């Protein structure tokens, strides 16, 4: 769920600002920007409140998270209307965010106690069996979350939930393009009777830098270029980071695939949220024997789509004119190099940050639409002669977030999946790994570092590990620590010799 780099707008983020609907230009609301100089004070308050929050223990925190889940469910309509007003989404796209967060909340409410429980570790050698070894998970005080604009609820809260469950406090810096939804999320937290361990910092680059400088862990979602800058700044204080960055996610369609299924999945995966999804389908490689059939099915599916904000539409506007410019550039460059647009391909003239769903064919890797993240409603399709070529081209990218493989032979598809250099692969589906709360979501290469949610690691990532070694008996070394007598030295040499010889047996000669 990655957004393009945040840009510094000409007006300083001071006082109050007006947020407009990118689809209509209507005023969505007003926001009060945070003075970067106030961020240390906000973080200090969170740090103090976190102590009591940690002391509640996993069960106590789970009760608060459960109340918050109820509040989100009760206020879903309000949140979705604001999402549409703030982002220009279609109603069907806006309707995806709160349910995803409720799914993640439900999972961690049930599993946080297990995630935070100390782990017993075995003794590595027999003579150390007199020790009890445990690994404890201690929450970091302040987790800073810098979230993008494409999913103002999901991209903020899917990380915040794990941090709060772990016992951390959370300082959220939403995108300056979509600050209003975050205000509602904070109001819901406090209305649920939760303690003040969740706060906002509203603004752009200066506020992001202040959040990085005053947090104990940073979760960033955004472009690869901005992620590198976040990591560089965090390194000044050796603050750990988790980065989910850009993607150029490929789909491979084999000759034995269900073509109608694959075509409809490709269209939904490419056009959902106007293509503004990090794990969207951004390029398709189709075996030549089914290429024409797949292209025809894809065009039919695209021609049925309705573009517009709110109810009755399949997908809405892009976030702003700048994002339209990127999409338009990728399409125009492809057309100039010989590609064909079978649908769309031209920017509308009637206002709003819209771009029509565009299917491109006769594309290759010399074109930006195949090697740069578009983050718009385009679907480039390339014919390939073999599975090996499809895999090679899919891996021919600096990105490695997710991918998909379509084949009626699931085992064959799985073998191909394990040849793809990315963090997740969906077989005969797209984007579904986002719903798999038991598994990590992370990127390879320039698509990120670390992973988001996913099993106990989605809580433990926000913790520090502390090993505690305790005696099983009351007998200690006592005065033998520095016993350098001849007999003691001989015993030590015999022991070290046994340890050195206790290596694994060779299984082959």
Residues 400, 448 contacting (CB under 8 angstroms) = no
The H or E element containing residue 387 is: helix 387-395
Phi, psi torsion values for 198, nearest 5 degrees: -135, 125
What are the tokens at 344? 């769309």
* Contact status, residue 143 vs residue 217, Cβ threshold 8 Å: yes
Q: Are 143 and 169 in contact (CB under 8 A)?
A: yes
Two tokens, residue 218: 């940073």
| Cα distance between residue 231 and residue 381, in whole Å | 34
Question: What is the H or E stretch that residue 198 is in?
Answer: strand 198-200
DSSP 118: P
Strands (E), 345-490: 358-361, 378-384, 399-400, 402-406, 424-427, 441-442, 444-445, 448-449, 451-452, 463-471
Task: Return the CA Rg of the chain.
Answer: 26
Active site residue 244: yes
Taking a C-beta distance cutoff of 8 angstroms, is the pair 9, 204 a contact?
A: yes
Question: Which helix or strand (DSSP H or E) is residue 16 part of?
Answer: strand 16-20
How far apart (Å, rounded) are the C-alpha atoms in residues 359 and 381?
Answer: 7
**Residue 401 contacts residue 249 (beta carbons within 8 Å):** yes
The phi-psi region of residue 175 (left if phi > 0; otherwise alpha if psi is between -120 and 50; otherwise beta) is beta
Q: Choosing from 176, 209, 278, 373, which is the catalytic residue?
A: 278
Maximum alpha-carbon separation in the chain:
94
Helix (H) or strand (E) holding 241: strand 241-244
What is the three-class DSSP state of 299? helix
| Catalytic residue from among 97, 176, 209, 244 | 244
To the query of whether residue 278 is one of the catalytic residues in this protein, the response is yes
Q: Annotated catalytic sites, by residue?
A: 244, 278
């Amino acid at each position: 769920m990655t957004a393009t780099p945040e840009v510094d707008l000409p007006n300083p983020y001071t006082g109050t600002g007006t947020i407009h609907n990118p689809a209509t230009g209507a005023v969505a609301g007003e926001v009060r920007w945070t003075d970067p100089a106030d961020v240390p004070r906000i973080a200090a308050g969170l740090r103090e409140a976190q102590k009591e929050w940690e002391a509640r223990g996993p069960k106590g925190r789970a009760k608060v998270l459960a109340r918050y889940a109820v509040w989100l469910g009760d206020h879903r309509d309000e949140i979705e209307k604001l999402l549409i007003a703030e982002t220009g989404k279609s109603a069907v796209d806006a309707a995806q965010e709160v349910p995803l967060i409720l799914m993640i909340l439900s999972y961690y409410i049930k599993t946080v106690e297990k995630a935070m429980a100390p782990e017993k570790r075995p003794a590595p050698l027999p003579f150390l069996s007199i020790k009890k070894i445990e690994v404890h998970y201690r929450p970091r005080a302040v987790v800073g979350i810098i979230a993008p604009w494409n999913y103002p609820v999901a991209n903020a809260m899917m990380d915040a939930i794990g941090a709060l469950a772990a016992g951390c406090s959370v300082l959220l810096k939403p995108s300056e393009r979509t600050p209003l939804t975050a205000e509602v999320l904070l109001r819901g937290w406090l209305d649920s009777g939760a303690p003040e361990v969740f706060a906002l910092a509203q603004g752009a680059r200066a506020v992001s830098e202040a959040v990085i400088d005053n947090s104990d862990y940073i979760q960033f979602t955004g472009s690869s270029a901005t992620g590198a800058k976040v990591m560089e700044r965090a390194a000044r204080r050796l603050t750990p980071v988790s980065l989910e960055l850009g993607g150029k996610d490929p789909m491979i369609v084999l000759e034995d695939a269900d073509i109608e299924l694959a075509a409809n999945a490709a269209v939904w995966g490419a056009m959902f949220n106007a293509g503004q999804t990090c794990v969207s389908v951004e390029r398709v490689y189709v075996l030549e024997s089914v290429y024409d059939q797949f292209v025809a099915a894809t065009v039919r599916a695209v021609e049925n789509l309705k573009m517009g904000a709110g109810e009755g539409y399949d997908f809405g506007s892009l976030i702003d004119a700048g994002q339209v410019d990127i999409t338009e550039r990728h399409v125009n460059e492809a057309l100039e190099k010989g590609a064909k647009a079978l649908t769309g391909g031209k920017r509308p003239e009637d206002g709003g940050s819209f771009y029509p769903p565009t299917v491109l064919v006769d594309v290759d890797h010399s074109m930006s639409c195949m090697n740069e993240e578009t983050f718009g409603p385009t679907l480039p399709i390339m014919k390939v002669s073999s599975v090996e070529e499809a895999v090679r081209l899919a891996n021919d990218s600096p990105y490695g977030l997710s991918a998909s493989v379509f084949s009626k032979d699931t085992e064959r598809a799985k073998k191909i999946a394990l040849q793809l250099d990315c963090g997740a692969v969906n077989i005969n589906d797209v984007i579904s790994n986002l719903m798999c709360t038991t598994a990590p979501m992370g990127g390879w290469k320039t698509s990120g570092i670390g992973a988001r949610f996913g099993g106990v690691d989605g809580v433990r990532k926000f913790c520090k590990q502390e090993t505690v070694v305790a005696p099983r008996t009351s007998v200690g070394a006592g005065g033998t620590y520095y016993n350098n007598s001849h007999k003691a030295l001989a015993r030590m040499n015999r022991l070290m010799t046994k340890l050195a010889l206790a290596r694994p047996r060779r299984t082959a000669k």
